[in-house]
Amino acid sequence: MTENDATPLPRPSLPARLLRSPVGRILVFALSAWLIGVVCSRIYSGLGLPHGAIPFGEVTPLIELFRLLPVVLAYWLLVRFIEQRHVDELAARKLIPHVLAGLAAGFILFSLVVGALWALGAYVVHGTNVGVPWLGLVLVLGVGAGVGEEIVSRGVLFRIVEEGLGTWISLLFSAAFFGFMHIWNPHATTWSALAIALEAGLLFGLIYHVTRSLWLCMGVHAAWNVAQGPFYGIPVSGFEQKGWLASTMQGPDWLTGGEFGAEASVVALCICSTLTAVLLGIALRRGSLVPPFWARPKAKPAA
């Protein structure tokens, strides 16, 4: 068969094109997560598991599993049946090395924040606490936040928006969404939401852009939260914590983050923004930033 004899592939139907468009895929994910959530809620109630606001320390693996199932299954269905590809960003071969690297990086990153606050006299340790409910705290702050929030914010929003509108717009959009989702937390303010967007939303977006690994994002996110609350005893996004270190914060809110926690501190903002700038430099040097669809070179029609 010669090149001229090749039969062009049929163009997908309009419904298929709409379903696979960026907006269509985001809507499919949201609808799938909601429907799976309804089913999980019925099973959850049938098992007699507790409803309402459950203290973090009392959350069990089964409770957290039901919380995460809708997001995880909806993402898997989106990738395999709508996008029709392997879930490369969650490849099994990357699980152990990327999660371990993310956990180490997240713990070190937040330790740098605490170290700076301690040096400035804002973080004071009085001793240690015994009987910290590690399992529940790690499940909620580590696994729950790390897996659920990263799939939604980076796996769905950042990745899909980047395909259509490019990296810059995707970074700003996903970061704004991430900050907005934290404005409903206890003790949240406009400043704390903006700080979360700038220090974490932009940082995690660039971590994903540079590595294309959700495992790494999940590890960094989980370790940041666990280090902040269960280990250093600092409120996590407005939720008061009793950590292994019995500590208090002292000083103005702009330095300590106030009741919201160190994530609303200018110290955390400066340290995370420095790492964000480094990752952005890597992306610029690689030339990996994706332009918006209107700025891309048009494909030449086949002969």
What's the token pair of residue 82?
Answer: 């709508």
State the average pLDDT for the chain.
Answer: 92
pLDDT of 25 reads 95
pLDDT > 80? residue 286: yes
Name the residue range of residue 239's domain: 89-289
Is the Cβ–Cβ distance between 247 and 234 less than 8 Å?
A: yes
Q: Average pLDDT of 110-135?
A: 95
Is the Cβ–Cβ distance between 137 and 234 less than 8 Å?
A: no
Where is average pLDDT lowest: 9-18, 131-140, 186-195, 241-250?
A: 9-18
Residue 32 is assigned to a structural domain of this protein: no
Residue 196 is assigned to a structural domain of this protein: yes
Dihedral angle at the C-alpha atoms of 153, 155, 158, 161, nearest 10 degrees?
-120
Residue 277 is assigned to a structural domain of this protein: yes
- What's the number of domains the chain is made of? 1
Please write the tens of the pLDDT for every residue from 24-75: 999 999 999 999 999 999 999 999 999 888 999 999 999 999 999 999 999 9
Q: Average pLDDT of 70-85?
A: 95
pLDDT of 6 reads 52
Percent of the chain with pLDDT over 70: 95
Single-letter amino acid code for the residue at 122:
A
pLDDT confidence bin for 296, thresholds 50/70/90: confident
Please write the tens of the pLDDT for every residue from 95-120: 999 999 999 999 999 999 999 999 99
SS3 (DSSP) at 243: coil
Distances from the Cα of 151 to the Cα of 67, 75, 154, angstroms = 13, 7, 6
DSSP 50: -
Residue 214 is assigned to a structural domain of this protein: yes
Residue 298 is assigned to a structural domain of this protein: no
Residue 15 is assigned to a structural domain of this protein: no
Residue 44 is assigned to a structural domain of this protein: no
Residue 3 is assigned to a structural domain of this protein: no
Please write the tens of the pLDDT for every residue from 266-275: 999 999 999 9
